[in-house]
């Protein structure tokens, strides 16, 4: 799925003190002009990047999932109205889109895509992974979800139904994964640490390694 | 895109699951600029999204079945959005871009 030019571009970046690709220079020119026009400051751009890269990561979603596993009443509220339920966490990162949370079960598996571009539940999952924006993922997960999920390392039994949710400007989806076995003794905070971004997109199952070794 | 459960077991929060979100620094700059200007009310994020969809669809129509780099299209969509609102003209941007491209090596920012 990865683009074949990726490695070449990495090499370019590492060999030069400054990134000299045409796009990098175009981006630099864009930022310089916007600063000149007084529309932004470089430090403000830095802040936004840090906000999305670090403060609004999938950890928010992981906390939501962990609470839903621990608290059946919260789980019910979350599945009934995801947007209202996550307000209980007061996450930063201003997402106004409706959030719909769909729960995996013994015979049902959900997976999320945006077939048009890259709509993604930022408030709970941060920035989308690179493959989420890839044309191959966007088309194949709709056409042949079982096969693609298998290639991504998630083999689903033939009897499991797969639901593919197409995100839009108005509605964003997040998957509530099944709670792994052997996690009964864990606290909400400990549970949040075993929840992965990929499981909340629906392309991976969760395991609890420490418990498996026992 | 596989998940390293050993890492997670060590208590690392699932921030990016071991995967870089941006290939190059300019991509994160462009993303940050697009979000910031939208948050400041220069345009609705949905309008930017529409520009992005148009750019992606045009690229896919011109190159059926081929992969693409996402952030160059994202950058194009941002300049489309800024130009359509009279915030930044494409000629002005191109002139600055050319001036930057012709800087001597080892220039200081």
Residues 14 to 53 of B: which have CB under 8 A from any A CB?
Answer: 14-17, 19-21, 23-33, 35-37, 39-40, 42, 46, 49, 52-53
Residue B107 lies in a domain: no
In a domain, B68, yes or no: yes
Q: Do A193 and B39 make contact, defined as CB atoms within 8 angstroms? A: no
Is the Cβ of B77 closer than 8 Å to some Cβ of chain A? no
Q: Would you place residue A11 in the very low, low, confident or very high pLDDT band (cuts 50, 70, 90)? A: very low
Nearest to A30 among B12, B60, B79 (CB): B79
Q: What are the start-end ranges of the E strands in chain A?
A: 98-103, 108-113, 161-166, 171-176
For helices B25-39 and A42-50, the axis angle rounded to 10 degrees is 100
Can you tell me the mean pLDDT for B55-71? Answer: 84
Is B109 within the bounds of a domain? no
All domains of chain A, ordered by start, with CATH? 20-55 (no CATH), 57-212 (3.90.330.10)
Show the tokens assigned to B57.
């669809």
Kind of pairing between the strands at A171-176 and A161-166:
unpaired
- Tokens representing residue B103 in the block: 């800087």
Phi, psi of B13 (to 5 degrees): -65, 145
The residue ranking higher by pLDDT, A32 or A9, is A32
d(CA A60, CA B13): 10
Please count the structural domains in chain B: 1
Query: Residue B65's domain is classified under what CATH number?
Result: 1.10.472
Q: How confident is the model at residue A33 (pLDDT cuts 50, 70, 90)?
A: very high
- Cβ contact, residue pair B26, A21, below 8 Å: yes
Any domain includes B67: yes
Say if B93 falls within a structural domain.
yes
* Residue B19 domain-assigned (yes or no): yes
In a domain, B72, yes or no: yes
* Residue among B77, B55, B20, B42 at smallest CA distance from A26: B77
pLDDT confidence bin for B107, thresholds 50/70/90: low
- The arithmetic mean of pLDDT across residues A100-117, rounded, is 94
What is the domain range of residue B93?
5-101
Residue of A32, A39, A57 lying closest to B96 (CB–CB): A32
A42, containing H or E segment: helix A42-50
Asked whether the beta carbons of A125 and A60 are under 8 A apart, the reply is yes
Beta bridge partners of A175: A102
Nearest CA in chain A to B90: A30
Q: What is the mean pLDDT of residues A194-203?
A: 92
**Residue in A9, A28, A197 closest to B100 by CB:** A28
Which candidate, A122, A185, A117, A109, places its Cα nearest to that of A150? A109
Angle, CA A209 vertex, CA A66 and CA A184 arms, to 5°: 45
For the CA atoms of chain A, what is the radius of gyration?
20
pLDDT(B19) > 70: no
pLDDT for res B66: 76
pLDDT exceeds 70 at position A76:
yes
* Torsion angle (degrees, nearest 10) of CA B39, B40, B43, B49: -20
Q: Which of A117-126, B9-18, B34-43 has the lowest mean pLDDT?
A: B9-18
Phi, psi of A183 (to 5 degrees): -115, 15
CB contact under 8 A, B3 and A198: yes
Distance of alpha carbon A55 from alpha carbon B82, whole angstroms:
28
DSSP-derived letter for residue A178 is P
Phi-psi label, residue B4: left if phi above 0, alpha if psi -120 to 50, beta otherwise: beta
Q: Tell me the three state secondary structure of residue A79.
A: helix
Q: What is the ipTM of this complex?
A: 0.81
> Tokens 């015979």 belong to which residue?
A107
**Structural domain contains residue B106:** no
């Amino acid at each position: 799925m990865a683009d074949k030019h990726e490695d070449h571009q990495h090499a370019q970046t590492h060999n030069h003190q400054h990134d000299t690709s045409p796009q990098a220079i175009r981006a630099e020119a864009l930022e310089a002009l916007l600063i000149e026009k007084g529309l932004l400051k470089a430090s403000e751009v830095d802040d936004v990047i840090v906000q999305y890269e670090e403060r609004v990561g999938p950890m928010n979603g992981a906390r939501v999932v962990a609470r839903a596993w621990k608290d059946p009443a919260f789980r019910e509220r979350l599945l009934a109205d995801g947007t209202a339920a996550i307000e209980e966490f007061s996450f930063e990162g201003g997402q106004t889109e409706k959030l719909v949370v769909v729960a995996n079960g013994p015979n049902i598996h959900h997976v999320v895509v945006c077939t048009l571009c890259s709509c993604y539940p930022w408030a709970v999952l941060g920035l989308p992974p690179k493959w989420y924006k890839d044309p191959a993922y966007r088309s194949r997960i709709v056409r042949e979800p079982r096969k693609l999920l298998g290639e991504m390392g998630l083999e689903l039994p033939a009897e499991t139904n797969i639901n593919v949710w197409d995100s839009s400007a108005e509605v964003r989806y997040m998957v509530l994964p099944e709670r792994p076995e052997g996690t009964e003794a864990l606290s909400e905070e400990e549970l949040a640490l075993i929840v992965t971004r990929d499981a909340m997109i629906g392309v991976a199952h969760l395991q609890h390694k420490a418990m498996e070794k026992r | 895109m596989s998940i390293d459960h050993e890492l997670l077991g060590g208590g690392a929060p699932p921030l990016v699951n071991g995967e870089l979100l941006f290939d190059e620094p300019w991509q994160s700059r462009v993303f940050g600029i697009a979000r910031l200007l939208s948050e400041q009310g220069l345009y609705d994020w949905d309008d930017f999204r529409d520009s992005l969809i148009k750019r992606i669809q045009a690229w896919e129509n011109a190159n059926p079945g081929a992969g693409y780099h996402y952030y160059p299209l994202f950058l194009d969509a941002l300049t489309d959005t800024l130009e359509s609102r009279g915030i930044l003209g494409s000629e002005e941007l191109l002139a600055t871009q050319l001036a930057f491209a012709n800087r001597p090596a080892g220039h200081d920012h």
